[in-house]
A = this chain, B = another copy of it.
Amino acid sequence: MWRAGKKASNCWLSLASVYGAEVVAHQGWDSVLIDMQHAPTDFATAYAMLVAVSTTDTVPLVRVPWNEPDEIQRVLDAGAYGVMCPTIDTVEDAKRFVGAARYHPLGYRSVGPNRAALYGGADYISKANETILTIAQIETAKGLANVEAIAKVPGLNMLFVGPSDLALSLGRPMSPNPDDKVTLEAVDRILHTAHAAGIYAGMFSLDPEYARAMMKKGFDLVTCTADITMIGAGAKMAQSFK
């Protein structure tokens, strides 16, 4: 897709529902992201969701709870095509993250794909370093200060904006769809730094219109909504029956 100059849409999965994941994966999103950081999704549930997404052509991504090598390696072995890591603040953070997702000589990922080898085939290990997507969240003032160096860490494929944490860290009002000038400048800096380094840029939003604008702005991967956001529509509906 990206080679064809297109942008990739993404739906965020926070409900820890295996059936919900399969339903969403059938909706036509380019990718889904299984969130293990800010959702009640443990490894067993994420594994089951990865299996469910594998019944479709939608690309499954996973956000791990933190920059921990075991979590990163396990979701890749379980069949994630890409892994997002929160709060990458320094080059060291980025190297630790990327290293866990890459086999020798690019990293220290240990050999033993299990589900991954089922879909990836016998040559999974020789190809994984090229095909697995590594996505670093830049979401603090510190990460922003180091963003140019982080973008150049070999094996990193994408910088992804975490707008709420970023705004909070910059002392600005939080919004999933930032309109604050300082925050927006930071967002732009992340976008341009990624592209300048020859890697992708991603953005989180829960509003399809804002997401569309972010794609136009140049982001390669944009979260457009979440399962829990769609369910949130019920609150207004419920009130209408009062």
Instruction: List the interface of chain A (C-beta within 8 A of B).
Output: 7, 9, 11, 14-20, 22-24, 26-30, 37-40, 42-45, 47-48, 51-52, 54-55, 65-66, 68-71, 73-74, 77-78, 86-87, 103-105, 108, 110-115, 118-119, 125, 139-140, 162, 164-165, 168-169, 171, 174, 208, 211-212, 215, 224-225, 227-228, 230-235, 237-242
Contacts and interface: CB of A to CB of B under 8 A. Distances in A.
A87 B164 CA distance: 32
Given A44-B42, A65-B74, A15 B19 contact: yes
A9 B238 contact: yes
Nearest to A222: B241
A101 to B, nearest CB: 14
B208 A224 contact: no
A27 B238 contact: yes
B110 A37 contact: yes
Contact of A14 (B65, B114, B139): B114
B78 A40 contact: yes
B125 A231 contact: no
Each complex incorporates copies of this chain amounting to: 6
Contact of A165 (B7, B52, B78, B111): B111
A40 B230 contact: no
A117 to B, nearest CB: 10
A43 B42 CA distance: 7
Given A15-B15, A27-B238, A168-B104, A112 B38 contact: yes
What 3 pairs between A and B have smallest CB-CB spacing?
A38-B112, A66-B70, A17-B17
A86 B113 CA distance: 15
B233 A115 contact: no
B234 A225 contact: yes
30 contacts: A9-B238, A9-B241, A15-B20, A16-B17, A16-B19, A17-B17, A19-B228, A20-B231, A22-B115, A23-B231, A27-B234, A37-B73, A37-B112, A40-B47, A40-B78, A40-B114, A42-B42, A48-B51, A51-B51, A65-B73, A86-B110, A87-B110, A104-B165, A105-B171, A108-B140, A110-B162, A227-B234, A230-B233, A230-B234, A231-B231
